[in-house]
Amino acid sequence: MQQIQNGVWPTMITPFADTGEIDYPAVQRLLQFYHRRGAAGVFAVCQSSEMFRLELEERAALVRFIVEHAPDGIQVVVSGHVADTLEEQVREAEAIMCEGVSAYVVLPNRFAAEDEDDETLIANMEAFLAAFPSVPLGLYECPYPYKRVLTPQVLQACVASGRFLFIKDTCSELSQIKEKLRLLEGTGIKLYNANGATLLESLRLGAAGYSGVMANFHPELYAWLCRHYRDEPEEADRLQQFLGVCSLAEYQYYPVNAKYGLSLQGVPMRMDSRVLDPDRFAESKRLEIRQLVELAAYMRETLHIAAL
């Protein structure tokens, strides 16, 4: 199976045109932005992509467009199954998977309801894997419709399957991350932390990189941290303080605020969203994002990151 690259994997947002349809020229500009800013790959059709509000045909078409237009060197992992039943999830995945995707990412919370045990989750996951015997896979602790963090039992079942390459971890707790990394040691499965505040310590523990919301604001800073946390530890500590505070923006008005921030950085797109009303993105919130963009530019100068 193809190896997944270490580094930064933005959780791709989905731009929309004034017609309400996906704005594909903006998607292409977004891919170029990620590439220029040092991303190793992209995680497409995830919660940041508003996948629960995209029709199946839209999810499938979006994946194919992203794979076709991803710049050289950018890998693509995708998700997109949102149904409740295993049969429907398999049907959705069949429609979404395509050649050129480095891994198809499954959601543990789709394999078991919140009140169901790990045995149910593992049985449904194994049935899903059997339906796609040759497809490389990833795991995503998606927070919606409820967060199902991987337990040691589930993680050990994933390791035993020999099918997984990629984990997007959203637990935000270093003790859990440390235990997961212990269980993953030597397996070839790479863990990507979604939490900005714990990122540096997780890298020092063995995480492979960052895959989270804030890579839609300043991915180049996360890329610098992933590359230089060993050889420039003091600068890495200072940058971590900055990134930890900035990560509060994901609780502000995301993904509308990310679309606004990207437009300020040469990636024009509308702020339209299917999950939030852009008209409620207040002027004070816009000012916060403008200031965040300016602060990130200052940090780039401090770290001598070339103009982008």
**168 counts as catalytic:** yes
34, 104, 140, 222: the active-site residue? 140
CA distances (Å), origin 100, targets 51, 78, 136 = 20, 11, 11
Give CA–CA dist 131/94, Å, rounded. 9
Please report the DSSP string for 99-112 in residue order: TT-SEEEE-HHHHS
Evaluate whether 69 touches 31 at the Cβ level (below 8 Å): yes
Give CA–CA dist 213/185, Å, rounded. 26
Tell me the sheet residues that pair with 78: 44, 104
34, 168, 192, 253: the active-site residue? 168
Half-sphere exposure (CA, 13 Å, Cβ side) for 65?
20
CA distances (Å), origin 196, targets 187, 225, 303 = 25, 11, 18
* CA proximity to 246, closest of 299, 282, 191, 284: 299
Q: Which residues have a catalytic role annotated?
A: 140, 168
